[in-house]
Copies of this chain bind each other. A is one copy, B any other.
């Protein structure tokens, strides 16, 4: 029998001695009364962009779906086993989530594959099909010849967030709850290199950095907290 990854076991011990120790009553309460998160985050599998880390969220705060490139398919009740759609249904209808955040990020491998032809990953059975949820946009952006490679990448990452939001709105209950003001849908994009979070303007679809806060200035100090 092979053994469990030692890095995970040592990390788990740190969790137990730290986060769990400090919050064990909260964990017990969350177990007893059930989760009641108000926010769902649809994010990428990428190892550099965990929502709980970026938003500093603890147990019970975020209901998190992660797939390649944070894609949402359009509503298609065709009897298929749609994992992303099941998670959305669970969050919105089961948990009564009030905010859904689609969070993309820079240097996304799935977006890179969609822009690159031929891409080594094209040989596979699933990635190409999955990224085809972006529709003809990927191919079109790949032909934007006056942009740099990095610009095309970032733009498709951001378009992809808008595309997921549009698909999310094809779910009847999402649309209905949004109309009632009971559900809000947001977009965000995380720059792995700089740590910047860019937030989508819900009307224009543009991405901007939130205005700076007093806390941000503390970043220039040298001393450790």
What CA separation (Å) do A99 and B129 show in the bound complex?
Answer: 25
Complex: chain B residue closest to A76, CB-CB: B125
Residues A169-219 near B (CB distance < 8 A): 184, 186, 188, 191-197, 199, 201-206, 208-213, 215-219
A62: chain B residues within 8 A (beta carbon): 47, 50
Give the interface residue-count category, chain A: 35 or more
- A sample of 12 cross-chain residue pairs with beta-carbon separation below 8 angstroms, ordered by A number, consists of A4-B101, A16-B195, A17-B220, A18-B56, A21-B217, A31-B107, A35-B46, A48-B60, A68-B90, A86-B130, A93-B121, A148-B206
List residues of A whose CB falls within 8 A of some B CB: 1-2, 4-5, 7-9, 11-22, 24, 27-28, 30-32, 34-35, 37, 39-40, 45-50, 52-68, 71, 73, 75, 77, 79-91, 93-95, 99, 101, 106-107, 109-110, 113, 120-121, 124-127, 129-133, 137, 140-141, 144, 146-151, 155, 158-159, 184, 186, 188, 191-197, 199, 201-206, 208-213, 215-221, 224-225
